[in-house]
Structure 1
């Protein structure tokens, strides 16, 4: 066959394959996006939250007499398998309590040994009770069994901030300064052996790796695994297999942070008094979106009823006050009360007495 004719014959096929490949590549980032115009939401006070959204609260008085279970700050809290898991990112430890508030132990030990870690960036708990956490200094994924015994440590070929366990693998939220595998990617899906299956989103020029407005994490509800990294007001929703399903964009109109301010947050921080954004964590179900706004640099817990388009907001809190919102896990809206931090909530006498004696208390309230 004439070579020229053969090449000409192949050209349409090659173009078709190339276009197909481009469409497949683009399809990775094709997902429905819903915009919530915050200015059009009916505004109500937190105290008006109906019982159909927020259930009765129960209090867990934490017994911190076990030195292993002592912690200073609550960076993240989870309720799973009838246990309470608390990360103290400052002390670099995860402590475990039962649902009666009795301290069980801490997870692993900090040090230079083969089974020891140096840092904990984030953690998650599997359905079988296995505990996985990221050591951000060693770039390793540690695993401990449900009875808190060391199981494995796996080197990570990338730098990650957060993780979530999904079917047959993990979702990782990568650091903006990651120079390893999947550089510039925000989220990757891996199998259980940390082989990359897929990647989602990329960091752009409007990123300041030297300043965080707040910590962030994947949040699991019965319907979705949600991802939001402040200052971005997009919430990305994944299913239990780690596939990106949908994006929700909170639009605060003229209160949105200008892109240019996101590149050097500390220098522009005073200007943030006039802006609004999502912070810490955001939970999404088919019925509600809940979390915290950062308004005028104050924390404002909120619950948005998606069916009624009503946003219930609490009074502004100082950033260190977790008495209105500390986390969400296992369908519980979690609050946290410390002895020397005043709260706007009227507490039962037994709870207030425990706080007065120097105790620490968790509030667990079903959020539907």
Structure 2
């Protein structure tokens, strides 16, 4: 990776603890099993109006990787980033419908699979995952209702029929997957009305656990892009439009984080919910939109607030057992590219991608750093037709 700024100003991380919010939404869960409670869940108190810190104060280092652009690897929009050994896997399920592999300097290596109707191709996908040993990449192919396995260098291995209709899935163990779909899945002959959003099952369809009734219909279609996420060996799930995040294990579903956003009224999801009601609620309340990254020493949560022009975050520190809120103030020009992180890298680094046109728009701002040679190298060969640039922000807890 290229280093562009080291030793960003770090100020004291000490301010009064935020007051506890009264938000209690989505605490009632419909499930085929009882919720496990192995460890005490973390209460994340977020006060967007009290002692907020600039982004820079929680970051110690910023690096970048420019993804090489060739005629064979054009990326429209990055939907996922995965890291395996010294490789970057870039997923674009929205525009180019491709999965490409780069080394850590951004050099293009190979593609994984391709869009099509053949037995070794994927017809339609929104999510990819890694096997627990990280030796293979697995595409959740909604077009063929199957899981397509590939090696990291792009060789097709096998296709396995998915036991349920999943738009995204992650491996809990080698033989146990957690799957999600906004319309839910009917898994019980005894209760035709129970269609959980989340199902944890083996590949033969034997359900280990399930939870969160789907209320999907014409009047309510809202969801989020990545309700299931994996960090290290842990699989986490955020049910869309709620303030709770769960850890998925072979033994059950455990509440891991509960977000209390100061000033937010509870949003209750039931059979009366509609997209219009949800939009109205969000106009009057700050809300967690589902973007989060679990790190070694804490976690970062993306909070939206109607009328606020920028992005705001709550960053929880395990050691201090408190949340540090960030406003939209930044002193380093490189923080202009900071957005909702796409992935975690290493222990405490979050990764953000930026389109080349946005990067070019801030060229004059970066020259204000006074490091002309470094900035010249950063912008070398970068055009509006280039692939995105990845920024690696290391957080300090």
TM more than 0.5? yes
Asked if 1 retains the 8 angstrom alpha-carbon contact of 2:183 and 2:215, the reply is no
Secondary structure of 1:138's partner?
coil
Per the alignment, do residues 95 and 316 of structure 1 end up closer, same or farther by CA in structure 2, a change over 3 Å counting? farther
* Runs of 5+ unmatched residues, structure 2: 1-31, 189-193, 331-335, 368-373
- Residue-by-residue CA offset, 1:206-260 (whole Å, 9 max, x unaligned): 8888533541143333474322133111011235x57534332112254245326
Asked if 1 retains the 8 angstrom alpha-carbon contact of 2:351 and 2:391, the reply is yes
Q: Which residue of 2 aligns with 1:156?
A: 162
**1:60 shift after superposition:** 0.9
Matching of residue 259 in structure 1 with residue 298 in structure 2: no
| Aligned match for 1:86, one of 90, 98, 105 | 90
- After TM superposition, list the pairs within 5 Å mapping 1:305-320 onto structure 2: 305-308=317-320, 309-315=322-328
| Aligned match for 1:141, one of 139, 147, 172 | 147
- How many residues in Structure 1 have an aligned counterpart in Structure 2? 335
TM-score by length of 1: 0.77
Asked if 2 retains the 8 angstrom alpha-carbon contact of 1:84 and 1:98, the reply is yes
Q: Which residue of 2 aligns with 1:361?
A: 389
Distance of 2:382 and 2:165 partners within structure 1: 39
Q: Which residue of 1 aligns with 2:201?
A: 190
**1:80 shift after superposition:** 1.7
Distance of 1:144 and 1:99 partners within structure 2: 20
Secondary structure of 1:255's partner?
coil
- Residue-by-residue CA offset, 1:153-197 (whole Å, 9 max, x unaligned): 122231112222233234323213134446622333333x34435
Asked if 1 retains the 8 angstrom alpha-carbon contact of 2:33 and 2:210, the reply is no
Q: Which residue of 1 aligns with 2:299?
A: 289
Q: Which residue of 2 aligns with 1:219?
A: 229
Distance of 1:208 and 1:292 partners within structure 2: 28
Secondary structure of 1:340's partner?
helix
Q: Which residue of 2 aligns with 1:12?
A: none
**1:302 shift after superposition:** 4.0
Secondary structure of 2:106's partner?
coil
- After TM superposition, list the pairs within 5 Å mapping 1:1-368 onto structure 2: 27-30=34-37, 32-39=40-47, 43-49=52-58, 54-67=59-72, 69-91=73-95, 92-126=97-131, 127-181=133-187, 184-191=195-202, 193-203=203-213, 205=215, 211-212=221-222, 214-222=224-232, 224-238=234-248, 243-256=252-265, 258-259=267-268, 263-266=273-276, 268-269=278-279, 271-285=281-295, 287-296=297-306, 299-308=311-320, 309-315=322-328, 323-331=338-346, 332-341=349-358, 342=361, 346=366, 348-349=374-375, 350-356=377-383, 358-359=385-386, 360-367=388-395
**1:119 shift after superposition:** 0.8
Asked if 1 retains the 8 angstrom alpha-carbon contact of 2:303 and 2:314, the reply is yes
Find runs of 4+ consecutive structure 1 residues off by over 6 angstroms: 206-209
Asked if 2 retains the 8 angstrom alpha-carbon contact of 1:326 and 1:334, the reply is yes
Secondary structure of 2:52's partner?
strand
Per the alignment, do residues 138 and 238 of structure 1 end up closer, same or farther by CA in structure 2, a change over 3 Å counting? same
TM-score by length of 2: 0.72
Secondary structure of 2:241's partner?
coil
Asked if 2 retains the 8 angstrom alpha-carbon contact of 1:219 and 1:329, the reply is no
Per the alignment, do residues 245 and 258 of structure 1 end up closer, same or farther by CA in structure 2, a change over 3 Å counting? closer
Per the alignment, do residues 86 and 131 of structure 1 end up closer, same or farther by CA in structure 2, a change over 3 Å counting? same
* Runs of 5+ unmatched residues, structure 1: 1-24
Query: Over aligned residue pairs, what C-alpha RMSD do you find?
Result: 3.5
Asked if 1 retains the 8 angstrom alpha-carbon contact of 2:65 and 2:391, the reply is yes
Larger Rg: 1
Asked if 2 retains the 8 angstrom alpha-carbon contact of 1:226 and 1:238, the reply is yes
Q: Which residue of 2 aligns with 1:15?
A: none
- Residue-by-residue CA offset, 1:103-140 (whole Å, 9 max, x unaligned): 12222122122222211121112334301011123221
Per the alignment, do residues 364 and 203 of structure 1 end up closer, same or farther by CA in structure 2, a change over 3 Å counting? same
Asked if 2 retains the 8 angstrom alpha-carbon contact of 1:335 and 1:363, the reply is yes
Distance of 2:187 and 2:280 partners within structure 1: 36
Asked if 1 retains the 8 angstrom alpha-carbon contact of 2:182 and 2:214, the reply is no
**1:285 shift after superposition:** 4.4
